[in-house]
Amino acid sequence: MRIATYTRISTDEVNQPYSLGAQAERLAAYISSQEGWAHVQSYSDQASGAKLERPGLRRALADAGLGRFDVLLVYRVDRLCRSVGLLAELLSRLDAAGVGFRSATEPFETTTPSGRMMMQMLGVFAEFERASIIERVVMGMGRKAAEGRWVGGPQPFGYRRAPEGGRLLVEEAEAALVPRIFDWYVHELAGSHEIAARLNAAGHQTRSGRPFSFKSVLTILRNRVYLGEVGWRGERHEGAHAALVDAAVFDTAQSLLHERGEDPAKRAAHSSDYLLTGLVVCACGARFTGTAATGRHRTYRYYTCGARQRYGASTCSAARLPADVLDEAVVKGLLEVLSDGALIEEAVRRAHERVAASEHLVQGELEAIGRELSEVEAAIDRYLTSFERGSLPEEVCGPRVRALGERAGKLRERQGELAGTLEEEALQAPDPAGIAGLRGEVEAAMRSGAPAQVKALLQALVHEVRVEDAHTVRPVFKIPTGTASTCLKAVRAPSRVVEVSGLEPPTSTLRTWRSTS
């Protein structure tokens, strides 16, 4: 019986009796006490039990689907889940994969109706316990805020939490900068980018040791903790710490933030407006992000290097790219590529060659593992037969059988990985018939004027848009597997350099660049 163990602690469970190590030790002891059980895999998480999005649990469910173990073992049911609904879902997914579930301290079988009922009852108590913990924590934090103490979270720049009682103490080395930042913003009317540049030029850093960004400056300007207040769930209380900023100065800063559009509620840019989100790569290695500048009569949309946007032009001097011009150029280049039948045919041919080569290698390794696994299992049978006949003592046979069993477990694990690889869509080659409809689909989306549809197509068909300099923007396109409507799992196709006229700075003398390949 192949056993996989799952352990979990929550980062907010203080002084919990069973650490990850303690759970693992007790589970190992439990497995060794069961006849015919072999521990083949371990999974672990440090996350809340109220959600399923946990890396370790996700891997466990995936491996269960691949048949890499027979039983998932936990120390207690609440280590797997603290919600009745989620527990039922997990048990259903394990059952569909043919995998059993056991708790080392709660001996209920999930294969019988009564066992499932008891397991769900334990889930009810686990959910009740979690809700009670949350209620106590919320009430405790509310009391702390009413007393003027810090209730948790990132400690504000300029303060440190006192070891006792949670009160904030002034951090002298940082506190002097806070009123200076407000003074620059309110009295000198310097913007957040300018203030960040001044701080970085003077050699100042954030508490994490990084350069100041405009976002870290805005975080300081918006934080009411500098008025000597603490907040909790929308309520403000007089804090037990010293204020660093005068109330009149703080209120003026908030008015300026609103007028300048640096208030988040006034931001006009929306991620769906930028069709190439996450695809545009700067020569410095950072990604371009969508930004906007408000003029007298209209809003101007740009793609701006993330490093420049965050840390200033001293970090990266890459020019801003007008979003409409770049979007149009990339779409035009994509349509040209999709119209080049010879180029598409060559890309498809190469993709099929790579898929065939990959499948051949995987099949070869699978066959080799199968032969080796047969030899290991035959060796185990020989040792066990010799032991049963009395020709080999246990002290000789036992260690050798355990070593062979571990080797067999690793071979089966690799066998499952390779089998899963063959089933994945990553080894699927593109379908020429499906590609034929892509150009029409892109053109129809452009005519419809639906940004979300156009963006979805570009995200599926553009590998990246590399900005080499203000004169050269090189997109790399990709061809999806399957049909035109799916646009999934793509392989790269040769790219061309798109026309870049209209990019900042003025480009009246720019030419249309194309690759020579």
Query: HSE (CB half, 13 Å, CA atoms) of 108?
Result: 18
Question: Which residues in 224-258 are b (16+ Cβ under 10 Å) and which e?
Answer: bbbbbbbebeeeebebbbebbbeeebbeebeebbe
Q: Give CB contacts under 8 A, 24+ apart, made by 283-286.
A: 283/318, 283/466, 283/467, 283/468, 283/469, 284/315, 284/316, 284/318, 286/316
Q: What is the rounded CA–CA span in Å between residue 466 and residue 285?
A: 9
Catalytic residue among 10, 42, 358, 386: 10
Query: Annotated catalytic, 10?
Result: yes
Q: What is the rounded CA–CA span in Å between residue 57 and residue 124?
A: 20
Q: What are phi and psi of 231, to 5 degrees?
A: -125, 150
CB atoms within 10 A of CB 104: 19
Q: What is the rounded CA–CA span in Å between residue 181 and residue 249?
A: 11
- Asked if residue 156 has a cis previous peptide bond (ω within 30° of 0), the answer is no
Q: What is the rounded CA–CA span in Å between residue 189 and residue 182?
A: 10
Spatial contact of 56 and 8, defined as CB atoms under 8 Å apart: yes
Query: Which among 169, 199, 213 has a CA at the least distance from the CA of 305?
Result: 213
Helices 323-339 and 341-389: angle between axes, nearest 10 degrees: 80
3-state SS, 267-308, equals: CCCCHHHCCCCCCEEECCCCEEEEEEEECCCCEEEEEEEHHH
Rounded alpha-carbon distances, angstroms, from residue 450 to 276, 280, 291, 326, 402: 14, 21, 20, 17, 62
CA 220, 226, 230, 233 torsion-angle sign: negative
Q: Residue type for 164, please?
A: E
Q: What is the rounded CA–CA span in Å between residue 84 and residue 96?
A: 18
366: three-class secondary structure by DSSP = helix
Active-site residue list: 10
